[in-house]
């Protein structure tokens, strides 16, 4: 009697984390790893002269975790990341944490990670992270969401004008954001190619 073959990938949309075997604690472990990964890349920090906002690896971590984990887990990573810093864990740049850091001048960028993670994760759920030509625009858009929250917050927290906030909190980061988008697209595209070859 003939048996139906099982497809290499289920018919429902996937993100990379769905390829991990479904064990009871999988989501908790994946979110915890995402938080630690974001905290690790936050320590890659380069001060920007004249700006309270440093260049960090955080946004790269947001892009990678959101695209790999999907919208729900990606958002969960960023919510837990914020909560961890609120209780004082040194998860932000230069091993900082605490209430003052979370709600300070750069806090808007971190809160912007939440809608950015949702946007990227949702698009990845529909396959937008698998090809360079679709993932780069997605990852640029996701980072734009971070700045859309972070720059007005910076202006309100510091008393800067809109023009000053853009000068201090947006323009110096455009090139880095494009580079991060390209790096993330290359990493995720490579991961999907490896996953396909092993299936």
Region 35-57: mean pLDDT is 93
φ, ψ of residue 66 to 5 degrees: the values are: -65, -45
Q: How far apart are CA 144 and CA 172, in angstroms?
A: 13
DSSP 96: B
pLDDT, tens digit, 9 for 90 and up, residues 90-133: 999 888 999 998 999 999 999 999 999 999 999 999 999 999 99
**Mean per-residue pLDDT over the chain, rounded:** 90
Residue with tokens 């994946």, as numbered in its chain: 30
The pLDDT value given to residue 11: 61
Positions of E strands within the chain = 45-46, 55-56
pLDDT band at 6 (very low <50, low <70, confident <90, very high): very low
Q: Which of 132, 136, 133, 155 is nearest to 144 (CA)?
A: 136
Q: What pLDDT is recorded for position 199?
A: 65
CA atoms within a 13 Å half-sphere pointing along the CA-CB vector of 176? 17
Q: Distance of alpha carbon 108 from its chain centroid, rounded?
A: 14
Distance between CA atoms of 147 and 160, rounded to whole angstroms?
A: 15
Q: What is the pLDDT of residues 49-80, one digit of tens each?
A: 888 899 999 999 999 999 999 999 999 999 99
Reported as a pLDDT band with limits 50, 70 and 90, residue 25 is confident
Here the tokens at position 171 are 């323009």
Q: How far apart are the first and last CA of the chain?
A: 25
pLDDT above 80 for 14: no
User: What percent of the chain clears pLDDT 90, i.e. is strictly above it?
Assistant: 75
Lowest-pLDDT range, 94-103, 148-157, 178-187? 94-103
Q: Which residue has the higher pLDDT, 124 or 26?
A: 124
In this predicted structure, what is the pLDDT of residue 12?
66
Domains in the chain, please, with CATH?
Answer: 23-43+51-198 (1.10.1760.20)
Dihedral angle, C-alpha 111, 93, 36, 58, nearest 10 °: 60
CA 178 → CA 85, 135, 186, distances in Å?
A: 27, 12, 12
What band does 13 get if pLDDT is binned at 50, 70 and 90?
A: confident
């Amino acid at each position: 009697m003939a048996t139906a073959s099982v497809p290499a990938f289920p018919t429902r949309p996937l993100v990379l984390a769905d390829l991990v075997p479904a064990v009871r604690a999988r989501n908790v472990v994946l979110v915890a790893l995402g938080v630690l990964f974001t905290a690790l890349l936050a320590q890659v920090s380069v001060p920007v002269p004249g700006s309270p906002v440093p260049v960090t690896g955080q946004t790269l971590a947001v892009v990678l975790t959101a695209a790999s984990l999907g919208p729900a887990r990606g958002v969960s990573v960023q919510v837990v990341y914020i909560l961890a810093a609120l209780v004082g864990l040194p998860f932000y740049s230069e091993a900082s944490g605490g209430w003052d850091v979370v709600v300070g001048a750069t806090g808007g960028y971190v809160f912007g990670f939440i809608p950015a993670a949702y946007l990227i994760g949702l698009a990845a759920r529909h396959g937008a992270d698998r090809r360079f030509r679709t993932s780069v625009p997605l990852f640029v858009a996701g980072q734009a969401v971070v700045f859309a929250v972070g720059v007005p917050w910076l202006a309100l927290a510091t008393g800067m004008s809109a023009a000053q906030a853009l000068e201090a909190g947006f323009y110096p980061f455009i090139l880095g954001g494009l580079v991060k988008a390209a790096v993330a697209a290359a990493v995720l595209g490579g991961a999907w190619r490896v996953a396909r070859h092993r299936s």
